[in-house]
Amino acid sequence: DTGSAAAVPINEVDIAYVTPVTVGTPPQTLMLDLDTGSSDLWVFSSLTPSSQVRGQEIYSPAKSSTSKLLSGHTWSIRYGDGSGSRGTVYTDNFTIGGLEVESQAVQTAQEVSSSFTQEQSLDGLVGLGFSTLNTVRPSSQLTFFDNARPKLDEEVFTADLKYHATGSYDFGFIDRAKYTGNITYTPVQQSPGYWTHSLSGYAVGSGAFQSTQIQGISDTGTTLLYLPTAIVTAYYRQVQGAQNSQYYGGYVFPCSSTLPTFTFGIEGARFTIPASYINYTRISPTSSTCYGGLQSSSGLGINIFGDVALKAAFVVFSGTNPPRIGFGTK
Ligand SMILES: CC[C@H](C)[C@H](NC(=O)[C@H](C)NC(=O)[C@@H](CCSC)NC[C@@H](N)Cc1ccccc1)C(=O)O
């Protein structure tokens, strides 16, 4: 089997992408953030206090003839940006792009943090990290990809995220029409549960490529690209008026500045992020100061290859043994 579904940016600066999924019988449609940086599938639900729901679609297990409570099981997750959620667990039929998993663990939120309440176009997350990261206790649950694996034509899913446009996630096949040339693969270290791999180096604008191993995680659920401070300062040194603002918590620059491109390596292949992706957003709607899509990872303890980088390529997450990740030019 295979599946294919849209990845829709939730606002005009691609802060996150959501994908239509269906849960239960009859199907209830929700828009979820497919997130390779975590492994919990959780949704706004009939169990979420109404004070914490602001426009999100909810999953009501009581309205589904195929829902089953996973009794005695709970979950609680914290994300790197300080957000989080927690609740109980049902199993139910779950489909993405025509690919169905019966009795998928669907984690129903009983509490969500304010940033999730405020994000009204995001009804929850589908964790596509390794199942070892799943927070359900006493027994941890499998991700949608792990449950779907046995029925997939090929043990892969792919991400084709786009700049200010709708892209796609495919399951079980690699769509040759979505990239040119070949996919370049590199090994993935699956502990502790992220899609952890290395870049082979980088270049700022038309500068020389610096060959250096940069380990990090490819995280479709993180908006920006977070790299070591030395690389980030080298980049913004090329930007007139750029500064690392304590106030805004990162590099800002005049919106009128000319930004260089940023190139990253995967093994011998090279992928160039257009300057427009790095001119991320105005710090406020009327401001002429802009916030960068490339920021320092020094506060995170890990480098994160988020959407700003991933949308510059066609990305293959391969669940083969050993797992690997592939990048294609598009
Ligand atoms: C502070 C918590 C640390 C980061 C750690 N949690 C994690 O690593 C979790 C699984 N993953 C995440 O916090 C990040 C990766 C951080 S790098 C360690 N990925 C998922 C995140 N983008 C999901 C999200 C989507 C939209 C809005 C907000 C959040 C933990 O539980 O220990």
Tell me how far the alpha carbon of residue 210 is from its chain's centroid.
Answer: 27
The residues pairing with 85 across neighbouring beta strands, listed in sequence order, are 77, 112
pLDDT of 8 above 90? yes
Query: Mean pLDDT, to the nearest integer, of 11-36?
Result: 98
Q: Would you state the pLDDT for residue 191? A: 86
| 263-303 residue pLDDT tens | 999 999 999 999 999 999 999 999 999 999 999 999 899 99
H helix runs in 41-135, sequence order: 114-118
> Does residue 307 have its Cβ closer than 6 Å to ligand 1?
no
pTM for the full predicted model: 0.98
Using most ligand atoms within 8 A of CB, pick from 36, 77, 79 the residue to mutate for ligand 1.
Answer: 79
The CA 108 to ligand 1 mean position distance, Å, reads 18
Q: Would you state the pLDDT for residue 222? A: 98
Residue 33 among the catalytic residues: no
Residue 245: phi and psi, rounded to 5, are: -90, 120
To the nearest whole number, what is the mean pLDDT of the chain?
Answer: 98
pLDDT of 318 above 90? yes
| 84-133 residue pLDDT tens | 999 999 999 999 999 999 999 999 999 999 999 999 999 999 999 999 99
Query: Mean pLDDT, to the nearest integer, of 155-169?
Result: 98
Instruction: Give the sheet arrangement for strand 279-282, strand by strand.
Output: 243-245, 250-254, 289-292, 279-282
In this structure, the residue with its CA closest to atom 19 of ligand 1 is 37
Query: Mean pLDDT, to the nearest integer, of 52-81?
Result: 98
Question: Taking a C-beta distance cutoff of 8 angstroms, is the pair 8, 72 a contact?
Answer: no
Confidence of residue 328 (pLDDT cuts 50, 70, 90): very high
